Structure 1
Amino acid sequence: MEERNANAVACLIMKLHITIPVSTLKMLELLKLMISACAFPHDTAEGNLFTRIHGNQSYMGMPVKPIVVTLGLEVVKPIDLQKKLKAPSAPFVSGQPYDYPMANLSTRWVNNAAMLKHNSYTDGSAVRAIVLRSQKQLPGISFAAGFFCAPPCQAFLFAVFIVYTNSGAGITLSVNGMAQVIWSANRASLAGENATIELTGDGNLVLHEANGRLVWSSNTSVQLVAGMEITEHGNLVLFDQRNATVWQSFDHPTDVLVHGQSLLQGMKLRANTSTTNWTESKLYMTVLPDGLYGYVGSKPPQLYYTYLVDTNKSRKDPTRVTFTNGSLNIFLQSTQAGKPEAIIALPEAKSIQYIRLEYDGHLRLYEWSDEKWTMVSDVIKKYPDDCAFPTPNYCKCEKQRGLQASLLEELLLQGCNVQKLGEGGFGSVFEGKISEERVAVKHLESARQGNKEFLAEVETIGSIEHINLVRLIGFCVEKSNRILVYEYMPRGSLDKWIYYRHNNTPLDWNTRCRIILDIAKGLCYLHEECRRKIAHLDIKPQNILLDENFNAKLADFGLSKLMDRDQSKVMTVMRGTPGYLAPEWLTSQITEKVDVYSFGVVLMEIISGRKNIDFSQPEESVQLIKLLCEKAQNNQLIDMVDKHSNDMISRQEEVIQMMKLPMWCLQNDSCQRPSMSMVVKSCLLKAIHRYILLHLLHQYYLVQDEMGG
């Protein structure tokens, strides 16, 4: 016997996996005799032979006519075998034949390059196969299962992967043919060097770290498993003694479908976080009774793709999507056997193909061509509306807004020419451009706003709409990176116009009154017109934005609090900005009236044209609200009028009348403060009074002109 055959027999003695043509079945008796003579006398070990009969089957889409028999031999006491062969003791299979698609019970493999053949690729990845199903005596693509690592190869997946094999069915390199993982067991917990995968004696397939920690298990120890096999379609199967499937990787998809694989109702394809991060992202595809859906796994899930079957039919049948040559077929249980309810057309296979849900949310079809993997089709060609689009950062744009999905992708994926608009406690705001539409991109950087606050902002502003609230266009979140995309407000924030830091022209009195009314309307909507009351909790000039015509809108809902209508008070930790906080924050029991207090502070800043705490002022004037109280007691409110504006000075009586409103809002007792609807009415009455006064003055001057004097 030549050396290669001798090695094969040695392997057979340890754990026999050999597939032979029926025409050579007469060699079985000889093989048994060889094993018996070489390996174990009947008085020292016991063996168990079994066979699996394979009829006419296909491999890689090509028919295989010869019937073959797989002979398996389990050695109960391998130590006797090792004594006979005078080989070093090893509790694992160390000399597998080139084609080894099956494994018996009580087999263990150690993830070590000295014990499993280590195949490295030019991109730094590597595989160590434990079972492999190859094309017989032909170079090309094969399926294998074993350990896979991405560069820098410090942690491993137990995975099924597609590899290139030579004519001897040995894994080798092609020009650009990197191993492609099509299923993995431990995406959330990678294993290290010297980890073990074991098909236990009771039929459980388990992955352990070198220290014994359990990483993953098939949980099949009570299901009478007889062995393991990698099929010609890349399905890792545990089967029983009747050759029936007990467990299969096809029932536990990760991010890939291969030919013949189905995604059943309730199953999910989950994308990797990135090309180098194998953990599950928030993007997933799933099958529902009426079709195929793509979601971003937020709370609630955000839909970004649908492919629906006939929705006019009323049904509750289980649905499945099957990947076949040239299509994704959507089947219903009640439909005619073999006839899909709907078909998503794909390019026909010229070679092996697979479909992967990728980290950007796209479902792409790949094919082996010219010794490399080529993307031949994107299954997702349309979206349910112009508002949903998957990105690496889990982005979503608000529905029914007219912003094209491709434009949001242009901004958030390809980058944009941005100009910094400002920054606050939680991060920076930039001006961006999506095609011809300008947007404001808020990049949250500070840890002060955690996921909880970020989701509060998204959920709050995303569920409401008002002319005096800034419109949220989209949001993104990837670990600590969080982005909010708002409508662009060209005049910026209010503080730039009332603190005179940028040499802006002072606002006239009518514009200030309109801004005050806009702020009041926005708060009134939040407090009294939403299904649940919303307390903003961070009202300040920096969070009030102005459009081209100086219309004001509230922004930054990161600290907002939802309150039930029947709640008089809520308990919460202190939040907001010093100088704008109501006294009741000290008790941690608040109502929406804390916003009324903050509004009063902002109103006085608008009237006086200064910050509420300004250390550039004389010591007695640093605190604006304290100064207001003193001036009111001394009947000197005229001193509080913004001296930068001649219009304000000329209309100081109106301004002084308006000061009564912030003093009402700044009551220490929250019950004494007005509601925002009362504030709106007060502002409207003052506006009407101003209109009537201006109209009367206009009429007076007309009469004077007619009289000539």
Structure 2
Amino acid sequence: MVSLWSLWSFLLSFSFVFLSQFSTFIIDAQAQYDNYAPLSSSWYNGEETFGEPSIRDPQITAVRPILLRNTGVDYDGPAYACGFYCNVVCNNYLFAVFIVILNGGVFENINDGFPQVVWSANRNNPVKNGATVQLTSEGDLVLKDADQTVAWSTNTSGKSVIGLNLTDSGNLVLLGANNAPVWQSFDHPMDSLVLGQKLSIGQKLVPSVSETNWTAQGLLSLSMTRTGLFAQMDTDPPQVYFVVPANLPYTSDDSNYIKFVNGTLALFTNSTLNGSIFINIPPASLFMRLEYDGHLRAYEFDGHQRQWIVADDLLQKHGDCGYPTVCGQYGICSSNGQCTCPDSDGDTNYFKQINNRHRNLWCYREVPLCCDNSQFQSFLELGDLSYVTYSADPESTPDLANVNMVYCKEACAKNCSCKAAFFLKDRDSPTDSGSCYLLTEVFSLMNLKLPVKSIFYLKVQNISNVVPKSPGSSRTPSFNNRGRTNRLASILGSSLGSVVALIIVIGVIKVLCRKREAVDEAEENHLDRIPGVPMKFTYDSLKVITKDFSKKLGEGGFGSVFEGTLQDGSKVAVKPLDGLGHIKKSFSAEVETIGSIHHVNLVMLVGFCTENSRRLLVYEYMPNGSLDKWIFCRSSEYVLNWQQRRKIVYDVAKGLNYLHEGCRRKILHLDIKPQNILLDTNFDAKVADFGLSKLIDRDKSQVVTTMRGTPGYLAPEWLSAAITEKVDVYSFGVVVLEIVSARKVFDNSQDSESMYLVGAFRRKVEEGRLSDMVDIHSEDMRVNEVEAVNMLRIAGWCLQGDYRKRPSMSVVMKVLDGLMDVPDDLEYDFSFPPLLKSRAKVLQEEAHFAPSTLLMPSVLSGPR
């Protein structure tokens, strides 16, 4: 009996396992015809599973559904599906919910506007062919890229999930006990609301940055707050272009919200319709979307014409001109729909037209604004204009009330962040007083005559050549031979002077020696007062957390870097500074620079140690080390795909933009190179090593300083000693070349013409073979060659010999976001830098540093 029972148990167990696996196989093969999936289901994004993409239009948009509603053979019309979606060139896929059209239960290829994506999980992190989606046995829905890195997850493991469901209303739901939602896509809106979906307080609709770049977010948003519904540009402070006021009671839950119901976007309080209609919408609309241009459009399907009927102008009273990006930054929108740039002031053109085919990219500053002395700035005065913030809400609170226009303009002139002042005269004021709006960002203006006097003061930067004053030459007195007496007196006088000078020098040395300890103590007290530095370590405590400096992470410019573990278990990188002389200056520069600032793309300084003559810095731990390891090493272990490289470029640009424009004092890094760019677990890039940094007051545009940095990355203007933040832009351009080409700035294994990377770049441009610069060892880079070449053009803009022609880092970010184009009139006559010729040997040693040494995490190199 025991034997028979054991056999029966084995057969039952085998049958259960077999059926489970068979069920999973059925889900894999047939999921596109169902709307529900149990645990342990998985789907593969590839032709091996689905064959040719289920839907494809002439623009090469393709979808691969895995869940589908309304699968009846008689169904005809729109249906919700969930699966993989790609657009234009199908290299990047979203895991998304989208609307398809069925004809008798079969997918129908429609040329105009199908499919329509209404939600996506990984908009900012697209995946490739070969990606997978899995509903794990623990109840977590996980999207993994082809290389098995996690691109997105619901993080619902252990929350009693029983299955995945796509509802009739297009809501992707992880179901729990009693079919209650554990997680649902409706709680995480992107840029769209479908019929029946709500927008709660604190939630936003955020569109893509442009019509073609659907994997990045823009500044626009539509959000619900206790005070109303707001469409705005998320600047600092926000600029509202549409508002519906409300005065909602405070609740700790989401019982106050707006909801897309038939024909309206209606307000619900305490989960009950209160009768307030925020926006009227065509009653047959299936969904609404906040578009990249700021328009909120509603979409209705016409079954006869087999196309979408689109309702526009749901947010505006002034037509197209009421949208902040209609004419781009600084563009003026006229009632006839034309865009113009602000008028010139005399013979000076402060703005130029970028591209008349794209209205939202209309105007561009010839000379970027910088915080300089007032004599280098002026204002263009533009009358009979309105601005989106005032037009959206004439009762909006101004920055300054009851002031005259002169005071308004002066307030902007004194404010470094102010780019324009908008003055409105009070209607009932007997004087010239009125309201003043100070704008930190300037978007489209409206050529609209207001019932009251209005003046728009647009701050502009005058073109000026500021040349540092050369020190005056001194005359050397000559002796006039008047006889032996005079010569003897001169000799005695000189000897006596030398003796006195020697005594003074000896005395000064003694005084300095006696005061050395006092100076060290003063430095310690000064560093203690720097805000933002959370810890001051003793040397003994650092010996403990590093286990007597036993685990070496790598070599830096001033010595080795060691791994440490704090009491809470978090890891840090400890960097002792070895040497004398300039060590203290570099140490103080590093602590003062990053001790008081915090940004996601800057390495965080955890603390420091100043004890006797010891100087140590403690940083956050960066597991993936420095960038040079990942772009120069020819090893399968260290490979970056195109999306990772692009994101690293973007992260570095954000970090530098913060240093240049986001801090109270402008910070010049002065040593941007791959060794000073560190990568965390997710390959997010952070700028490190501020030992050479220079802090500049906001009212200064240039600084005179000694040459510093690394050969090969130094801008040409270092030879003139007067530098700006554009030296960082130049170094950034070199780093971009290295990232895209996977070549070092100096490589003596190449021929003489290609040894210097910038020189090779210039030659390829002249030959019209820029694609040759793309990393030839990476198949993924070749697949994305078009985008990579455009990135090289951005690098070329940053490498312009005249620093005034280089873009600011904020402009670089706009180009990366697809909001601007690289100018066509770039100069590629990069000269071979004298700095490189004179220090070729040093540079060659620098070039060997990265590949010859296995760079472990958190390699923080210092100045050479």
Q: TM-score, normalised by structure 1?
A: 0.49
Considering fraction of residues, name the structure with more strand: 1
Q: TM-score, normalised by structure 2?
A: 0.41
Greater relative contact order (Cα 8 A, min sep 6): structure 1 or 2? 2
